[in-house]
Amino acid sequence: MERLFLFVYQYRAFFTFVVLEVFCFWLIVQNNHYQGAKFFNSSNTVVASLNNFSQSIRDYFLLSDVNRTLAEENAELRRIVEQQKYVMERNHQLASYDSAFATRYDFISAKVVNNQLDRVKNFITINKGKDDGVEPGMAVISPLGAVGKVKTVSGRFAVVTSILHIDYMISAMLKKSGHFGSVQWNGRDPGFTNLNFIPRHVKLAVGDTVVTSGFNAVFPEGIMIGTVSAIDLSPESLTYNITVALSQDFRKLSYVSVVRSALKEEQDEVEKLVDEKK
């Protein structure tokens, strides 16, 4: 404290000058309308710029919360859309619907915490697990398309087999013609996959949409997979070699939804009984 007083005393002339300058500036602003208006306009501009800058910083750090909220809203909207889609289809066909089927799919929002892209067998880790109702075998989708299927779960995390896995196949169909096939990655470019088992008599073109078929109880029907980007057909081949550009860029995968099917267990049991009788 003594050193502080000594410092002020040594530079008392400078501090006196600064105080007088500030006092004179205040007198000028207070007693002259033009100077006062210019000062307050300038100060408002500076304050507004600082507030805008600070708000931008706050918004940036709140992006994760915003993204999580949007992902949860997206999952809820998907649930509503699936219910309404089924209701409309059943009303159109029978003028009534089964409430169990109307609520067939539920969606759990999750954040991607690890995403492999550089292997032939890639996996994705999400921050939702058994405690949140996630179980092995559940489908995983994003707002842009199919992502994969849950492989293993812990209490708070789950590992997902990515579409970018050479051993993983998804039942798919050409949206335009309705013909079915299987999507399977070839282990090369993470932006593309292959659509197999489409017979040569099918008419298709570059740009045709490929979606999930809904033939199993995992993926809802009509989930986007990608678009046809290349078609090859050798003279002796019975099926096309089709390259599909994935709708989801896995390099930018951030939030996903886990699809929980209320009827999967029942469907699996019925199909298992048929297999046992063969």
pLDDT for the residue numbered 94: 40
Query: Kind and range of the H or E element at 273?
Result: helix 264-277
**What value does the CA radius of gyration of the chain take, rounded to a whole number of Å?**
31
CA angle, 210 then 189 then 201, to 5°? 35
Give CA separation, 87 vs 17, 104, 136, 208, in Å.
81, 11, 28, 28
Indicate the burial class of 34 (C-beta count within 10 angstroms; 0-12, 13-18, 19 or more). exposed
pLDDT for the residue 274: 58
CATH 2.40.10.340 domain range(s) in the chain? 63-262
Please state the pTM of the whole predicted model.
0.66
Q: State the pLDDT at residue 46.
A: 56
CATH number for the domain running over 63-262: 2.40.10.340
Between CA 214 and CA 231 the distance in angstroms is 24
pLDDT at res. 188:
94
Q: What is the mean pLDDT of each run of 10 residues along the chain (278 residues)?
A: 74 80 73 61 55 60 66 68 57 44 74 92 94 93 92 94 96 94 96 96 95 84 94 92 95 89 68 61
Specify the pLDDT at position 278.
Answer: 58
Please check whether residue 240 is in contact with residue 198, taking contact to mean a CB–CB distance below 8 angstroms.
Answer: yes
